[in-house]
């Protein structure tokens, strides 16, 4: 029987992993699951780029140090070194797969390959090292990788399918202590309502983040924390979920509520101002607009609270050749009636990137055998308490490669894992006494309540009193939704709501356990950093 690799998610991490497994052997079949269209996810909305040491003026040591500085003491140094040193090779692989990064306007054919590419600089970086495709880097990566995956004979893509739960030995054998091996997943075909059983020798979570837990976010609607919720229910360890990165500059406009204004604009000279027109970042950090994201987001939040304003301004009027360098941003702003070369841009912080997630080792393996994770869903140790800008796409491709290497070894049996031909036989989904939905709860209203609760009580600045309020209310909501979940046949909305609540509760638990302020977690009750007691991961 042909070994099966099941990958949940079709962003950069999922597609990279799929292509590597499929290219490695004609004896492996890869199934990619997309809960919406295959191209819909956080990858396609990544504007900035991918960080990698690419120029002669840069060095691995500087990129490592910049990452450690941003991570506020919680990065795993060995993981940082892995990602930084493997970065150039992984970027070259993307180029070989057809990704078209922006090149210098005037190319010198005598220059070496690396010198041909235009590099941005973003907050927290000491050098220009961000390879980009204008200001649509994620969309270009998604285009190239998805086209390659769609044409691959050993990859099948199931769109409009959402994973319900992972299947583990513990779920099938009641005598099992601990979760045992992961054997695949139950997946809902949202078009037909049928639950599909997908056995797998290797299962990879590449489900992305959880920005939709918050009322204001740069994330697309699919970012509901599914991978974290499923992994935790299955018995895997999760960590550092208190560290949600709020991007400082999301466009404040009713027609583009989730549109990001790339940090690269600040790297090219854009200035933050309050509504009185004052440039304020020098009061908060010597790097001003290029300070790490947690500091910039808190500074904007502080200015808004101090003045009672609903947003701040980003002044990009002095950015040279802004239309040519940031065409997508300029086009979107103009559709909203804003001319960026002459007018200030209204911006607010918004939930952007989950720095914690499912705990993995340096091979991308979770604490459940046969289950791997890569991309935003994974807690690798690269980001620590705060992600350095554009390190996320880097982490995704590095860990896709590491998952592939370890998984391929496991499939061959050399790592003590499963061998070819041993794809598990699994029972079909049992709906129990569930019936078609008759008495509906208002899923949209419940979703809004959870997101508003998280924004108001578990936001950029926190207190234990607010966190406890959030914890108690989330417990009540979970109880109501759980009863509804088990009594009704499944829909995508219901699965996502269940996962959203689970991740929200885990975030609150982690935040309550960290009795200090560090990186993205800032609490009024404990405003100082406590290295003696809390220079460690928060593991659940």
Catalytic residue IDs:
293
- Order the strands of the 194-199 sheet from edge to edge: 161-168, 182-189, 194-199
Strands 182-189 and 130-131: unpaired
Which residues fall within 8 angstroms of residue 345, CB to CB, at 6 or more apart? Answer: 249, 251, 261, 313, 314, 315, 316, 333, 338
Which helix H or strand E contains 398, and what residues bound it?
helix 391-412
Mind giving me the DSSP string for 254-268? TT-TT-B--THHHHT
The answer for residues whose C-beta is within 8 angstroms of residue 260's C-beta and 6 or more apart is 45, 47, 218, 247, 249, 250, 251, 352
- Contact (Cβ atoms closer than 8 angstroms) between residue 365 and residue 172: no
Spatial distance between the Cα atoms of 414 and 436, rounded to a whole number of angstroms: 47
CA 238 to chain CA centroid, Å, is 14
Handedness of CA 14, 19, 20, 25 (dihedral sign): positive
Query: Cα separation of 325 and 341, whole Å?
Result: 12
Dig out the tokens for 82 from the structure: 């892995």
Looking at residue 156, the DSSP 8-state letter turns out to be E
Interatomic CA distance for residues 372 and 5, integer angstroms: 11
Contact residues for 476 (Cβ-Cβ < 8 A; gap 6+): none
| Separation of alpha carbons 80 and 64, rounded Å | 6
Cβ within 8 Å of residue 477, ≥6 positions away: 446, 449, 450, 501
The answer to whether 390 and 49 are in contact (CB under 8 A) is: yes
Q: Which residues contact 459 (CB under 8 A, 6 or more apart)?
A: 214, 246
Rg from Cα positions in the chain: 23
Tokens representing 474 are 């989330």
Cβ contact 251:527 at 8 Å: no
Element spanning 230, H or E: helix 226-234
Where b means 16+ CB within 10 Å and e means fewer, 182-210 reads bbbbbbbebeeeebbebbbbbbbbbbbbb
- Burial class from Cβ neighbours inside 10 Å (0-12, 13-18, 19+) for residue 445 reads exposed
């Amino acid at each position: 029987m042909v070994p099966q690799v099941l990958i949940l998610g079709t962003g950069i991490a999922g597609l990279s992993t799929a292509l590597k497994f499929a290219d490695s052997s004609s004896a492996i079949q890869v199934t990619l699951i997309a809960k919406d269209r295959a191209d819909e996810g956080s990858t396609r909305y990544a504007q900035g780029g991918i960080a990698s040491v690419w120029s002669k003026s840069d060095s691995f040591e500087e990129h490592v140090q910049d990452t450690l500085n941003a991570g506020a003491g919680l990065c795993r140094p060995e993981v940082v070194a892995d990602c930084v040193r493997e970065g150039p090779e992984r970027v070259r692989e993307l180029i070989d797969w057809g990704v078209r990064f922006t090149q210098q306007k005037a190319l010198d054919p005598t220059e070496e390959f690396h010198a041909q590419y235009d590099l941005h600089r973003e907050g927290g970086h000491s050098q220009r090292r961000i390879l980009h495709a204008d200001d649509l880097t994620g969309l270009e990566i998604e285009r190239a990788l998805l086209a390659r995956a769609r044409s691959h004979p050993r990859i099948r893509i199931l769109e409009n399918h959402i994973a319900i739960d992972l299947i583990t030995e513990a779920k099938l054998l009641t005598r099992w202590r601990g979760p045992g091996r992961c054997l695949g997943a139950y997946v809902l075909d949202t078009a037909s309502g049928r639950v599909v059983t997908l056995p797998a020798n290797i299962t990879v979570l590449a489900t992305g983040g959880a920005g939709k837990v918050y009322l204001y976010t740069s994330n697309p609607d699919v970012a509901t924390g599914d991978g974290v919720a499923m992994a935790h229910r299955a018995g895997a360890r999760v960590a550092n979920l208190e560290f949600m990165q709020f991007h400082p500059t999301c466009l404040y406009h009713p027609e583009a509520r989730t549109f990001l204004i790339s940090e690269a604009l600040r790297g090219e000279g854009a200035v933050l101002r309050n509504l009185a027109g004052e440039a304020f970042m020098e009061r908060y950090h010597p790097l001003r607009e290029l300070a790490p994201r947690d500091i910039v987001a808190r500074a904007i939040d502080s200015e808004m609270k101090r003045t009672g304003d609903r947003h701040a301004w980003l002044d990009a009027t002095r950015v040279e050749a802004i239309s040519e360098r940031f065409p997508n941003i300029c086009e979107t702003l103009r559709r909203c009636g804003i001319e960026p070369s002459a007018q200030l841009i209204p911006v607010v912080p918004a939930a952007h990137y989950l720095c914690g997630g499912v705990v993995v080792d340096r091979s991308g393996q979770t604490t459940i055998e046969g289950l791997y994770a890569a991309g935003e869903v994974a807690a690798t140790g690269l980001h620590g308490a705060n992600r350095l800008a554009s390190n996320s796409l880097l982490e995704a491709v590095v860990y896709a490669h590491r998952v592939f290497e370890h998984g391929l070894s496991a499939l061959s049996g050399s790592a003590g894992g499963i061998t070819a031909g041993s794809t598990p036989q699994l029972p079909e989904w049992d709906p129990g006494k569930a019936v078609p939905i008759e008495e509906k709860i208002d899923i949209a209203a419940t979703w809004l309540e959870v997101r508003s609760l998280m924004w108001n009580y578990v936001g950029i600045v926190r207190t234990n009193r607010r966190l406890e309020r959030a914890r108690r209310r989330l417990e009540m909501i979970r109880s109501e939704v759980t009863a509804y979940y088990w009594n009704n046949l499944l829909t995508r909305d219901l699965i996502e709501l269940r996962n959203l609540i689970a991740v929200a509760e885990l975030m609150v638990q982690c935040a309550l356990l960290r009795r200090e302020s560090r990186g993205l977690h800032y609490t009024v009750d404990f405003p100082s950093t406590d290295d003696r007691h809390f220079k460690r991961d928060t593991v659940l």
